[in-house]
Structure 1
Amino acid sequence: MKIKKVLNNNVVIAQNTNDEETILMGLGLGYGKKAGEVVEDKKIEKIFALKVTSEQQNFSELLSEIPSGIVELSILTLEKAKTKFDKTISDTVLVAFADHLNAAIIREKDNIAIKNFLLWDIKRFFPEEFALCLETLQKVKEKLNISLPEDEAGFLAMHIVNGVLLQSF
């Protein structure tokens, strides 16, 4: 696979042999690499392949606008969700999850709060997804020193729930 863009040392956007864009993750995968170079297969730990539709055609553009640390944290959260819940989650959720997390961080920096009016229901009906997203907010606090409200964990949990639903269709 050829690298299209290096997001960070561990995450790259690449083009596979079918000319489809994929997100590849692996320790040191992008270290010292540039667009056009070939990825070493043995370094690839995870592959996220998005089926290209008219709505998702520019996913690499969207992801390139999101800081690589946020993309990587989103990937790790969604992978943990797949393992923890033993469910398949649509890879298309990655873009929405990462974009939402990034927007939440920007809103917090700008002192803009959004109330999640479904928070009580989300906690009640999706407690495990909510707890996982609280862990993600804790990682944001540790890495970026930004405290996001639990309302955001509720919003992020719904991305995971929707990802499971999307995969079942």
Structure 2
Amino acid sequence: MKKESLLRVDRVIGNNVILAQSDTQGMEYVLMGKGIGFGIKSGELLAEDDKRIEKRFRLDDPKQMKHYHAMMEEADPEVIRITEAILADIEERFGGPLNNKVYYSLPSHIQFVLYRLQNGMEIVNPFLQETKLWFPAEYEAAGRAAAKIQETFGVDLPEDEIGFLTYHVHSALTNVAAWELAKFSNVVTELVERIEALQGIAISRDSMDYRRLVTDLRYTVERISQGKHMANPLLPELRKKFKGDFALAQDLSALIAERLGTEVPDEEVGYIAIELYRFFQGLDQHHPV
């Protein structure tokens, strides 16, 4: 007769979250479910198929699990509760399972934000405008999350913080970490500033041309970071016909390579040249190709 697999409770985080370890595999899990932590104590056993377990996940990196433990030691139980409510709202509205790592990153972020606000530290988001443009649905969800945080803790979250929460919403729906999204945004900002400096122009941040440019650049930067390169059959023609745009694209690619720590293939340089050509064609000024 096959022995029933059991989970030993390591720690009760709250009424809906506990840490447990498999008695056969030795793996540590975060278990979530309505009322799963109510009335249970460390050391008690749960069946693997306990009906109260609605979600389970484990952080594969031991360092991440160690940080998760440390964060849980210090976290306000209300932070855990409000995190559960926010993630439940995201899952309900967007559907599908969420990225497991958000269960660690979001409460940690909320805890830090509360610390900053309670100590009078300013929250500034230089990428707010672009974030609202790139992730409108996630920004709306982040606004609902901010409202929950404000109501629970009696704080006033600035719009800049809603922008940062947007990254965590997007991260919950994808495999892209919030810190990576911030890095991509920073790289795009640097690229626009490099274009302005090299071309001697000032790009209006309110223009449709700017919105298209930064959106194209963000997808390019993210694609390069993830190594998802695409073939570019127009590359030879781009080198010949659009020499100015291609040269500028090479300069921007060098910046991307430096910031991301990866090589930028010529095919991607070609796509950046196309993005630049389209952008400059939209400007009301002469631009030599």
TM-score bracket for the superposition, by shorter chain length? 0.7 to 0.9
- Taking the aligned partners of 1:114 and 1:53, their CA distance within structure 2 comes to 30
Give the TM-score normalised by structure 2: 0.52
Which of 105, 114, 125 pairs up with 1:96?
105
Task: Specify whether residues 57 and 140 from structure 1 end up closer, same or farther in structure 2 by C-alpha distance, changes over 3 A only.
Answer: closer
Give the number of the structure with larger relative contact order, counting CA–CA contacts within 8 Å between residues 6 or more apart.
1
Is it true that 1:65 corresponds to 2:74 in the alignment?
yes
Q: Which residue of 2 aligns with 1:6?
A: 12
**Corresponding residue for residue 175 of structure 2:** 165
Q: Give the Å deviation of 1:128.
A: 1.2
Inter-partner Cα distance in structure 1 for 2:151 and 2:168 = 22
SS state of the match for residue 94, structure 1?
Answer: helix
Q: CA 1:84–1:34 in 2, change beyond 3 Å: closer, same or farther?
A: same
- Partner amino acid for 2:13? L
- Contact 2:141–2:169, Cα closer than 8 Å, also in 1: no
Give the equivalent residue in structure 2 for 1:24: 31
Distance 1:51 1:7, change over 3 A: closer
Q: Which has the larger radius of gyration?
A: 2
CA positional deviation for 1:103: 0.5
Q: Which amino acid aligns with 1:121?
A: E
Q: Work out the CA distance in 2 between the residues paired with 1:89 and 1:43.
A: 19
**Aligned twin of 1:123:** 132
Q: Is the 8 A contact 2:28 2:58 kept in 1?
A: yes
Which residue, 149, 152, 170 being the options, matches 1:140? Answer: 149
Q: Does 1:82 align with 2:91?
A: yes
Post-superposition CA distance 1:24-59 (Å, at most 9, x none): 222221112211112361222222x12321441312
Change over 3 Å in CA distance of 1:30–1:96 after alignment to 2: same
Q: Is the 8 A contact 2:142 2:169 kept in 1?
A: no
Deviation at 1:160, TM superposition (A): 2.7
Secondary structure of the equivalent of 1:57? helix
Could you list the structure 1 runs, at least 4 aligned residues long, displaced by more than 6 angstroms after superposition: none
Which segments of 5 or more consecutive residues in structure 2 lack a partner in the other structure? 1-6, 178-225, 227-289
Taking the aligned partners of 1:43 and 1:73, their CA distance within structure 2 comes to 20
* Letter of the 2:19 counterpart: I
AA in 2 matched with 1:35: S
Alpha-carbon distance in structure 2 between the residues aligned to 1:60 and 1:20: 14
Relative to the length of structure 1, the TM-score reads: 0.85
CA-CA distance at 1:69 after TM superposition:
2.2
- Shift in CA distance, 7/54, structure 1 to aligned 2, threshold 3 Å: closer
Is the CA contact 1:133–1:156 (under 8 Å) kept in the aligned structure 2?
yes
Q: How many residues align?
A: 167
Q: Which moved more, 1:122-131 or 1:52-61?
A: 52-61
- In 2, the alpha carbon distance for the partners of 1:117 and 1:130 equals 15
Q: Which has the larger helix fraction?
A: 2
1:35 counterpart residue number: 42
